[in-house]
Chains A and B, each alone.
Chain A
C-alpha cells in the first residue's frame, strides 16, 4: 500500500509455500486414484506400465533434476551479485523445460501412433485395469506438463524482472518464489517416474 512499504520476505515465502501445498493436494487427488486402482488392478498396472518407455521417463527425470539444480544455484548467484550467471542459469532452466516438453511430445506421439489414447478404439480393447492405467497416465503426466509450461513462463517472467532491475541481490523474493514453484514441478515428477515408468514386476 502506498506510504507504507515493508518487505515481508518471510510472509511472501510462506504464502508461496501455502500455494505449493494446494498443488500437492491437487496432484494428491490423482495419487489417491492411482493408489486405489493399483490396489485393485496390480497385474494390469504392471502389464500396461511395462509398455511405457523407461528411457523417456528416466531422461526427463535427469532433465528436471538438473533444471532444479540450475534454479537453486541461480538464487545463490543472484545474491552474490553474479547477475549474468543467474540469468544464464535461468535460461538453461527454461531450455530444460523445453527439452522436457519435446521429450514428452515424442513419448506421447509414439503412444498415440499405437492407438493408445483416452477414448480410442484401440484402448477400449484392453483389459479394464490397463484402460485405467493409460487414462490416469495421460491425465497425470498431462497435468504435470501444464505445470512445466506454467513454471517455465514464471521463470521467463522473473528473468524480465531481473533484467529491469526489479529483482536484484537485495530483493530476490520473486526469484525465490519462482524457484520454489519450479522445484515443486520437479518434486511431482520424482514421484511420477517410479509410479508410472518403473512398474516392471
Chain B
C-alpha cells in the first residue's frame, strides 16, 4: 500500500501498529532459552551428518520467533514478508549454486 492509499484508508493511523503486551515477549524469551538448552543438549549426541541440520533447524526456529515477534514481522504488511523471503531465497541460491562447484570438484 502506498503512502497515499494508506493515508486515505486510515487517515489518523498512519504507521500506528499493534502494541505487543509484555507477557508475549517474556513467553517468547522463555521459549528461546529452552530452545537454546535443547540445541546444546542435542549437540552432545552423535547423529552423524544430522547434527548440523538439527542445529540449523533449531537456530532457524529461534530466528523465526525473534523475527516474527521481537521484530514484529507478524504484524507487518505482506510487502515486508515478501522482501524477507526474497533476501533469504537469494542467499540460499548463492549457497546452493556454489555447491554445484564445491561438491563435484576433483582436486
- On whether A and B touch (CB less than 8 Å), the answer reads yes
Interface residues on B, range: 35 or more
B residues within 8 A CB of A187? 63, 66-67
By a CB distance below 8 angstroms, the chain B residues around A36 are 98-99, 102
CB neighbours of A110 from chain B (8 A): none
A13 touches B62 (CB 8 A): no
CA of A11 to CA of B2, assembled, Å? 9
Partner of A80, one of B6, B17, B19, B80: B19
* Complex contact A38–B95 (CB within 8 A): no
A65 to B32, Cβ gap below 8 A? Answer: yes
Give residues of chain B (28-71) contacting chain A, Cβ–Cβ below 8 Å.
28-29, 32-33, 36, 39-40, 43-48, 51-52, 55-56, 58-59, 62-63, 66-67, 69-71
Is chain A's binding surface mostly helix, strand, loop or mixed?
helix
What is the distance, in angstroms, from A165's C-beta to the closest C-beta of chain B?
A: 19
**Contact string against B for A residues 57-82, beta-carbon threshold 8 Å, 1 for contact and 0 otherwise:** 01001100110110111001001100
| Contact, CB under 8 Å: B63 / A28 | no
Residues of A with C-beta under 8 A to B55? 194-195, 198
Chain A residues numbered 19-58 whose CB sits less than 8 Å from any CB in chain B: 21, 24-25, 28, 31-32, 35-36, 38-40, 54, 58
Which of B3, B52, B90, B94 is close to A11, meaning CB atoms less than 8 Å apart?
Answer: B3
The range of chain A's interface size is 35 or more
B47 contact from A58, A183, A201, Cβ within 8 A? A201
Q: Is the CB of B25 within 8 A of A201?
A: no
Partner of A10 from B15, B94, B98 at Cβ < 8 Å: B15
Are B14 and A7 in contact (CB-based, < 8 A)?
A: yes
With an 8 A cutoff between CB atoms, is A130 at the interface?
Answer: no
> A194's contact among B39, B76, B77, B98, by CB below 8 Å, is which?
B39
Q: Are the CB atoms of A39 and B103 closer together than 8 Å?
A: yes
CA distance A21 to B20 in the complex (A): 24
CB-based contact B83/A17 at 8 Å: yes
Contact, CB under 8 Å: B25 / A17? no
Which residues does chain B contribute within 8 Å of A24, judged by CB atoms?
A: 87-88, 91
Contacts A190-B63, A191-B63, A201-B46; A25 near B70 (Cβ below 8 A):
no
CB distance from B84 to the nearest CB of A (A): 7
Q: Does A9 contact B (CB under 8 A)?
A: yes
- Knowing A6-B3, A24-B91, A36-B102, the reply to whether A54 touches B71 (Cβ < 8 A) is no
